[in-house]
Amino acid sequence: MFKNLRLRLTIWFVCLSAVAHITTTILTGVLFHNQLTAAIDSELAELVAEHLQNIDYTDGHLSLPTATRSFSAKPIKLLASIQLFDANGNFVQETGAPGVTTMYPRATEVPLHGHDLRSLSRRILDHGQLLGYLQVQLPTDARERAESDRLLMLVITFPVLIALLFICGYYFTAVAIKPIEETFSILREFMINAGHELNTPLSIAQAALDNLDRKGAKQADVLKKVSVIKLSLTRMRNLVDDMLLLAKLESDKATTRTFKVLPFHDLVRETLEHIHPLLEEHGIELSIESTDNVFVRGNMFQLQQMLTNLLQNAITYNKQGGTIKVSLKSTDQNAQLTIADTGLGISEQDLQRIFDKFFRAESSRSKASGGSGLGLAIVKNVVEAHRGSIKVDSELNIGTTVVVSLPAVAQPANTHTIPTNS
Ligand SMILES: Nc1ncnc2c1ncn2[C@@H]1O[C@H](COP(=O)(O)OP(=O)(O)O)[C@@H](O)[C@H]1O
Ligand SMILES: [Mg+2]
């Protein structure tokens, strides 16, 4: 698909470049022609000025000295035809090379034996009285030769130029479409992973439903299957919610318009209260080391999501009877939140990938946790959207410490209080 696109883009590039090249060639050709013509005209004007001085006027007759050729300094002037006409435009005399002995009042080009002659005339005046005309003609062969040489060179170099444009275009389109290709492969991978993640709860729910369909199922069995279906639906719901949130975060990353100054300490306390039942369920002890009053500018829902995900991980991947220590400090210009658990830990290898979408460490606990593998990807996006940073230190079987730093802001005059959902 991309190979085809690359070829199409290259062909477009070559065609447009060729059109641009041909247009500029035509325009510069016109300029070149005009310049060469102007050069001939200036030669003609010089010749006219030179010969005007040599005209003899006796007894009402105009004449030119016949030895005109010998005075010429430039070789081109040897090819000039010098012509005299009377006041009525009738031909009188011609010296130099043969020309077209017709009077042309304006500068023009006239054909002679398959060649063109450029012709220029001037009035011959004596005290304001018109005596006649002096006309000079020069062949335009040199101009035509220069033009056809230029054209020949352009025609010869054109295929070379097209070949070079094609090679360069083919190379640069590869560079240009690389990010598109990467985005496509990320999207494809995301879809495969999402499909895979949805497939598991779907299969479980399907199997449970098939079982329910059978005749003679006991009431207790039915209830069991219904709870399995409910759990599968919850998993799917969580996965879809996470996917939608992540998509929204990724597209709104630069949107800080909705951000408000929030008491981060209140948000942390709120979330700790919410996850309390989960702590009891897992038999984990939580200690709060410090909660400095610190304000951040941000989106309340996103920050709550970030805190929930981090705390859920600290609980889910902890050991029975393990502990979690939470501290919130106001350091220089930052709100620094530390969540340290005494859980399974993460291997050095996995540590590089924990923020990847759908990544879960190989431990059976991670697979069975019911998580989507999107939690930390969401956390990372939230932190980045808030111009903060996140650091994870971990040691297998010892525990994990996550440190989130967000830029702190001054306490506003009328501080918001966080509404409680419960
Ligand atoms: N506190 C932690 N202790 C040990 N492993 C963790 C911790 N936090 C995250 N992980 C590992 O990182 C993986 C990705 O985490 P996350 O993105 O939240 O996805 P999940 O939905 O699996 O929780 C987890 O599956 C787990 O293997
Ligand atoms: Mg998680």
CA-based Rg of the chain, rounded to a whole angstrom? 45
Q: For the residues 416-422, what does the mean pLDDT come to?
A: 50
| CATH architecture designation of domain 255-409 | 2-Layer Sandwich (3.30)
> Going by CA atoms, what residue is nearest to atom 22 of ligand 1?
373
372 Cα nearest atom in ligand 1: 21
Ligand 1: distance of its center to the CA of 363 in Å? 10
Q: Which long-range contacts (CB under 8 A, 24 or more apart) does 272-276 make?
A: 272/311, 272/326, 273/422, 274/308, 274/421, 274/422, 275/308, 275/311, 275/312, 275/315
In CATH terms, are 2-147 and 255-409 the same topology?
A: no
- CA-to-CA distance for 176 and 338, rounded, in angstroms? 42
List all residues whose CB is within 6 A of at least one atom of ligand 1.
309, 313-314, 317, 341, 343-346, 354, 359-361, 366, 369, 371-377, 400
Structure tokens at 329: 């400090």
What pLDDT score does 366 carry? 58
- CA-to-CA distance for 143 and 109, rounded, in angstroms? 13
User: 139, 120, 150, 134: which is closest to 29 by C-alpha?
Assistant: 150
User: What pLDDT band is residue 421 in, cutting at 50, 70 and 90?
Assistant: very low
Is residue 131 within 8 Å of 57, Cβ to Cβ?
yes
Q: Has residue 76 got a pLDDT over 70? A: no
> Going by CA atoms, what residue is nearest to atom 1 of ligand 1?
314
Name the DSSP letter for residue 191.
H
User: Residue 393: nearest ligand to its CA?
Assistant: 1
Q: Has residue 314 got a pLDDT over 80? A: yes
Q: Burial level of 264, CB count in 10 A (0-12/13-18/19+)?
A: buried
pLDDT tens for each residue of 272-292? 999 999 999 899 999 998 889
User: Residue 314: nearest ligand to its CA?
Assistant: 1
Ligand 1: distance of its center to the CA of 377 in Å? 10
Q: For the residues 240-262, what does the mean pLDDT come to?
A: 85
What pLDDT score does 218 carry? 79
User: What pLDDT band is residue 75 in, cutting at 50, 70 and 90?
Assistant: low
What pLDDT score does 119 carry? 97
Structure tokens at 218: 């006991």
- Tell me which of 72 and 212 has the higher pLDDT: 212
Q: Has residue 306 got a pLDDT over 60? A: yes
Q: For the residues 15-23, what does the mean pLDDT come to?
A: 95
Is residue 198 within 8 Å of 233, Cβ to Cβ?
no
Is residue 242 within 8 Å of 222, Cβ to Cβ?
no
Give the Cβ contact number of residue 188 at 10 Å: 10
User: What pLDDT band is residue 73 in, cutting at 50, 70 and 90?
Assistant: low
| 30, 52, 63, 96, 128 from 91: Cα distances, Å | 34, 16, 11, 15, 21
Q: Has residue 157 got a pLDDT over 70? A: yes
User: 99, 174, 95, 179: which is closest to 140 by C-alpha?
Assistant: 99
Give the Cβ contact number of residue 329 at 10 Å: 15
User: Residue 315: nearest ligand to its CA?
Assistant: 1
Structure tokens at 128: 């304001």
Is residue 104 within 8 Å of 123, Cβ to Cβ?
no
**Which CATH number is 2-147's, of 3.30.450, 3.30.420, 3.30.230, 3.40.1350?**
3.30.450
User: What pLDDT band is residue 59 in, cutting at 50, 70 and 90?
Assistant: confident
What pLDDT score does 422 carry? 39
Torsion 55-61-65-66 (CA) sign: positive
- CA-to-CA distance for 350 and 360, rounded, in angstroms? 8
359 Cα nearest atom in ligand 1: 14
Mean of per-residue pLDDT scores for the chain = 89
User: What pLDDT band is residue 70 in, cutting at 50, 70 and 90?
Assistant: very low
- Tell me which of 38 and 368 has the higher pLDDT: 38
Q: What angle do CA 11, 16, 20 make, to 5 degrees?
A: 145
Q: Has residue 209 got a pLDDT over 80? A: yes
Q: Has residue 71 got a pLDDT over 70? A: no
Q: Ligand 1, residues 249, 284, 313, 316: which to mutate, most atoms within 8 A of Cβ?
A: 313
- CA-to-CA distance for 23 and 19, rounded, in angstroms? 6
User: Residue 360: nearest ligand to its CA?
Assistant: 1
Ligand 1: distance of its center to the CA of 292 in Å? 27
Q: For the residues 144-154, what does the mean pLDDT come to?
A: 95
The answer for residues whose C-beta is within 8 angstroms of residue 225's C-beta and 6 or more apart is 208, 209, 211, 212, 217
- CA-to-CA distance for 50 and 47, rounded, in angstroms? 5
What pLDDT score does 368 carry? 65
- CA-to-CA distance for 72 and 286, rounded, in angstroms? 110
Q: Which long-range contacts (CB under 8 A, 24 or more apart) does 202-206 make?
A: 202/232, 202/236, 204/228, 204/231, 204/232, 205/229, 205/232, 205/233
Q: For the residues 126-138, what does the mean pLDDT come to?
A: 93
- CA-to-CA distance for 170 and 176, rounded, in angstroms? 10
Structure tokens at 136: 């000079």
Q: Has residue 295 got a pLDDT over 80? A: yes
Give residues whose Cβ lies within 5 Å of ion ligand 2.
313, 371, 375
Ligand 1: distance of its center to the CA of 150 in Å? 71
Is residue 138 within 8 Å of 79, Cβ to Cβ?
yes
Q: Where are the domains of the chain?
A: 2-147, 255-409
> Going by CA atoms, what residue is nearest to atom 12 of ligand 1?
354
> Going by CA atoms, what residue is nearest to atom 23 of ligand 1?
371
